[in-house]
Amino acid sequence: MQATNLITGVVIANPEGFGFLRPVDGGGDDLFLPPYEMRKVMHGDRVLANVTGIDRRGRREGSIARVLERGMTRLIGRFSVEFGINYVVPDDKRIQRNVQIPPDQTGDARDGQLVVCELTQAPDTRRPPIGRIIAVLGDKLTASLIVETAIHGHELPFEFPQQVLDEAASVPMQVEPAMIGDRVDLRSTPLVTIDGEDAKDFDDAVYCEPNAEGFRLVVAIADVSNYVRPGTPLDDEAQKRATSVYFPGFVVPMLPETLSNGICSLMPKVDRMCFVCDMQVNRDGEVIHSRFYEAVMNSHARLTYTQVWQAVGENDPAARNAMGALLPQIERLHQLYKVLAKARTRRGAIEFESSEVRFVLDNTGEVTQAGMLVRNDAHKLIEECMIAANVQAARYLLYKQVPAPFRDHAKPPEAKFEDLLEFLKEFKLSLPPWSKVQPGDYTKLLKKVRERPDSALIESVLLRSQSLAVYSPDNQGHFGLALDAYAHFTSPIRRYPDLLVHRAIKHALSGKPLEKFTYTQREMAALALQCSERERRADEAEREVDERYRAAWMEKHVGGQFDGVISGVTSFGLFVELDDSKVNGLVHVTQLPHDYYQFDATRKTLSGERRGTSYRLGDRVRILVLKASMEERKIDFRLVEEKGDEEPQLPPRGQPAKRKKQKY
């Protein structure tokens, strides 16, 4: 088999035993890997694979030719002893094979304990993986261990090597006059930061003033590239991490805190180095010209979204008074936001009304409160200012042709889009065909359903139908934002691609030849791919922690009743999303009113033969919380009937409930 017939990709395992190979170049569909092939690899491995044919579902099928790099070196699981053999049962259900532990590598773990296991030998078709215990977490998973298990399980580098800390300690913690050089002095310009109440690393500051053409918008970004230089231990570690990872009450930072929360952070009333995108915005919300330059600034205030919203959104007298001399500038920023928002609508960017669950923890890590974090105009104001700067960065880099990571977002894959159309058909909704659909079509649909009781479900499905955004040195545009070019410029404290973009723009500004730039196009492609993979790892870790905290919160509400909407229908039951917390749980078919249920996979309904009761996506229901498990990340509900709360019954012995055979 010639190398040209091989595909390089990353293994994505499925808990059912099969898997897929995701091509690293982003080209072509995923390759299906049957269970036998998955015995050679583990989730996250980078491999070479052959295309062996087409399976019965029309998917390309493959076989593993060679493992290039193991994607997993540590995992979390339960230590178990059976018939004198030690092994770890992985917590991640995508890892189908238990890890064998030699007798002298148990780390004094006891049967049933939660442990961190380091893999010492990879599996093959005949032998399981082998490992050793490097840490014992405890007898059971508690709320205080949720973040720690995610850090270990996703192999997040949470400790900085000593040489990195030493370099960080050598960085001056103040901006001295001699350091400023020929930077533009913006210290008298009333730049402000606007962030959440618990933010510590301040990447960006903004300033707006009206002029004859419309508005001057200044977006000042922490000049991380001034302190983190290519080839240094600091840069090597930042590149390895690629992103900060945010958990409730805890951050795994990309940079040591002396930089991320110190000299790089645009804290109020102190001089800071910054890199500026200075823009002229016309009255139609279009940036008609811009320039980039290095500057020194002094933030005039550290404001929060709540303060800004109360002042300009709710016109609260106390909040407006607290703004003092900054109030006119905040009002101008709000005026500018309205202009930018209209331009966004005109170009057809998708308007998802995103919301997220916010958990409040006590000092032991227990969840004491959960609620929805609702975005207001203050959040959107900053978002639009950042998007404007990011667009200018992308356009400047395209003009100068310097290698840099663009933020690409493709239109939805055709197969996923066809599934979406089938879903919408059940709600008597539609979109244009895949070949003609535009971002604005999604926005029109979202506006159409916004007042419907099932709008949150429809919006969630539309969001899940989108492609993943990735980093690439080849600009492909951003479908969701309806932009022909986009890059990440505004968060270099927490994202490595932004730091690369800063370096690329600075090289272009220097006037030096392109061949003198630190990175070639090929090197930038490798870095962009790594950043995309690290971003996915961070997303998975954050999602795991979120799911565990949701289960921990619902453990406190077992027996409670809540209203929600059916968010999923399967042959084995209904998934229900609760209104107040967006928690998802399963109503198993045995917890529905006693009947024999038929699952219609096309219409996504579950219908009872005897009563004629039918459950479909979007139906509003009331549930009772039966059980919640942090460890399994599962929440079980029981349906509460409108007329009394009849206890569901299991089918009589010998009469199993009818269901369709499950297929891969």
**Mind listing the pLDDT tens digit for each residue in 579-593?**
888 899 999 999 998
Give the DSSP letter of residue 15.
Answer: T
- Confidence category of residue 28, pLDDT binned at 50, 70, 90: low
Asked if pLDDT for residue 452 goes beyond 90, the answer is no
Per-residue confidence (pLDDT) for residue 150, from 0 to 100: 94
3 Cβ contact partners less than 8 Å away, ≥ 6 residues apart: none
Q: What pLDDT sits at residue 514? A: 93
Nearest CA among 480, 500, 215 for reference residue 348: 480
* Torsion over CA: 22, 23, 28, 32 (sign): negative
The CATH number for 74-140, chosen from 2.40.50.700, 1.20.1440.230, 1.20.120.80, 2.60.40.10, is 2.40.50.700
Confidence band, pLDDT 50/70/90 cuts, at residue 216? very high
- pLDDT-based confidence at 360, cuts 50/70/90? confident
Q: What's residue 194's pLDDT?
A: 97
Q: Is the pLDDT of residue 561 over 70?
A: yes
Q: In whole numbers, what is the pLDDT of the chain averaged over residues? A: 91
| Cβ contacts of 78-84, under 8 Å, gap ≥ 24 | 78/112, 78/113, 78/114, 78/115, 79/106, 79/109, 79/110, 79/111, 79/112, 79/113, 79/114, 79/115, 79/133, 79/136, 80/111, 80/112, 81/111
pTM: 0.88
Residue 26 pLDDT level (bands cut at 50, 70, 90): low
Distance CA 167, CA 173 (A): 12
> What is the percentage of the chain residues whose pLDDT exceeds 70?
95
Q: Which residues pair with 426 in a beta bridge?
A: none
Between 31 and 496, the higher pLDDT residue = 496
For the cut 50, the answer to whether the pLDDT of residue 664 exceeds it is no
- pLDDT tops 90 at residue 636: yes
The string of pLDDT tens digits covering residues 302-326 is 999 999 999 999 999 999 999 999 9
Query: Which among 131, 134, 135 has a CA at the least distance from the CA of 99?
Result: 131
Residue 207's DSSP bridge partners are 218
Provide DSSP, 598-631.
Answer: EEETTTTEEEETTT--EEETT-EEEEEEEEEETT
Burial of residue 646 (number of CB atoms within 10 Å: 0-12, 13-18, 19+): exposed
Average pLDDT, integer, range 112-134: 92
Report whether 606 contacts 572 (CB < 8 A).
no
Torsion over CA: 610, 612, 615, 620 (sign): negative
Structure tokens of 414?
């055709």
Tell me the per-residue pLDDT of 470-528, one tens digit each, with 9 for 90 and over.
999 999 999 999 999 999 999 999 999 999 999 999 999 999 999 999 999 999 999 99
pLDDT over 80 (residue 1): no
- 3-69 and 74-140 in the same fold: yes
- Looking at residues 419-445, what average pLDDT do you find? 93
Sorting pLDDT into bands at 50, 70 and 90, what band is 169? very high
Name which of 45-59, 463-477, 565-579, 580-594 the model is least confident about. Answer: 45-59
The hierarchical CATH code for the domain 557-639 is: 2.40.50.140
Give 232's DSSP letter. S
pLDDT score at 574: 96
Q: Give residue 2's pLDDT.
A: 45
d(CA 12, CA 32): 10
Question: How does residue 113 score in pLDDT terms, banded at 50, 70 and 90?
Answer: very high
Which pLDDT score, from 0 to 100, does residue 645 have? Answer: 43
Domain spans in the chain, listed from the N-terminal domain onward: 3-69, 74-140, 162-410+467-547, 557-639
Q: CB of 11 within 8 A of CB of 43?
A: yes
Question: What is the DSSP pairing of strand 184-185 with strand 287-298?
Answer: parallel
Report the largest interatomic distance among the alpha carbons of the chain, rounded to a whole angstrom: 86
**Of the given ranges (53-57, 146-150, 377-381), which has the lowest mean pLDDT?**
53-57
- Least confidently predicted of 179-183, 222-226, 291-295, 592-596: 592-596
Give the pLDDT of residue 21: 92
Compute the distance between CA of residue 142 and CA of residue 146 in angstroms, rounded to an integer: 7
Q: Say how far apart CA 431 and CA 422 lie, in whole Å.
A: 10
- Give the residue, 404 or 644, on which the prediction is more confident: 404
Q: Which CATH number fits domain 3-69: 2.40.50.140, 3.40.50.970, 3.30.2350.10, 3.30.70.100?
A: 2.40.50.140
Q: What is the pLDDT of residue 484?
A: 97
Rounded CA separation 365/56 (Å): 48
Of 293, 146, 163, which is closest to residue 218 (Cα–Cα)?
Answer: 293
Q: List the one residue out of 73, 53, 102, 302 whose CA is nearest residue 202.
A: 302
Please report where in the chains the tokens 């229901």 appear, as a residue: 621
